[in-house]
Structure 1
Amino acid sequence: MRIDFPYRVDARGRTATVDHPGHVRDMVEQVLFTSPGERVNRPDFGCNLLDMVFAGNSPELAATLEMTAQAALQRWLGDLLEVQSLTVTSEEATLRVRVEYVLKATGESRVVTVSGGVVA
């Protein structure tokens, strides 16, 4: 078991833990939501998802985000998962990111969807 992200205390009053698939999902969120330069010892960690949320929404923005997010996931989590598909759609004022991946340790398929800053 690993510490859950974001950090919280569970019902027993202890540090909340999560299993391997949940830990990898947490790390996918961290890569997507961390801006390069935000981490002191890893200044190139993350992708520009948060910076692009405030850019003009367009198909070009979606294509750019697809490329940068997929590259960041491959670089930082390539030993834990294999990205099957990453799609970014722009609908009016909403940017939606859907990541489908396979856990290398178990072969299990997983999906993470981020929309308007809310993970589903």
Structure 2
Amino acid sequence: MVAPVRHLRFPFGIALTGGTVAEEPDYDAYVRQLIRQVLLTARGERVCRPDFGAGLRRQVFAPLNDTSAALTRTLVYEALATWLGTLIRVEQVAVRAEAETLRVSVEYLVIARGERRLLDEDVVL
């Protein structure tokens, strides 16, 4: 018998019952959490994986123009393809500059389920 796959909840925590590591029962929520981790982690922030992350927070001080939007789109696509390429396939990355914010949305395919999803919860920088 094959043991079920366990997905850790982010942020990391302890379950209220049993004192074990908290798990994420919803696979879609688990994948969204992983995407957010990749997008919001700065390169060099993780000691054992210095190349991990997209480093979007670094874009806070970049000018809001088409060049910054194109760079952000590239950072997001490359980071997600590198770190989550076995779980998702990035279909499209859209970056919009609105007033003082840069909004990022990601359309992706969940490989295990063959379902398309959109992360458009406004990752506001």
- TM over 0.5: same fold? yes
Deviation of 1:28 after TM superposition, in Å, equals 0.4
**1:2 matched residue in structure 2:** 7
More strand by share: 1
Q: Does 1:65 align with 2:72?
A: yes
CA distance in 2, matches of 1:109, 1:103: 6
Deviation for aligned residue 1:104: 0.5
1:28 correspondence with 2:38: no
Counterparts of 2:17 and 2:98, CA distance in 1: 42
RMSD: 1.8
Q: Is the Cα–Cα contact under 8 Å of residues 92 and 107 in structure 2 kept in the other structure?
A: yes
% identity of equivalent residues: 39
Structure number with bigger Rg: 2
Post-superposition CA distance 1:33-64 (Å, at most 9, x none): 00100000110111120000222211110110
Q: Is the 8 A contact 2:105 2:119 kept in 1?
A: yes
Specify the SS of the correspondent of 1:21. helix
Aligned residues: 117
Where structure 2 has 5 or more consecutive residues not aligned to the other structure, the ranges are: 1-5
Determine which of 111, 116, 124 is the counterpart of 1:116. Answer: 124
TM-score for both structures, normalised by structure 2: 0.83
Unpaired runs of 5+ residues, structure 1, are none
Give the TM-score, by structure 1 length: 0.86
- Contact persistence 2:104–2:124 (CA under 8 A): no
Residue type of the alignment partner of 2:7:
R
Q: 1:88 aligns with which of 92, 95, 116?
A: 95
Q: Kindly state the Cα deviation for residue 8 of structure 1 after the two structures are TM-superposed.
A: 4.3
Runs of 4+ in 1 over 6 A off after TM superposition: none
Distance 1:116 1:48 in 2: 13
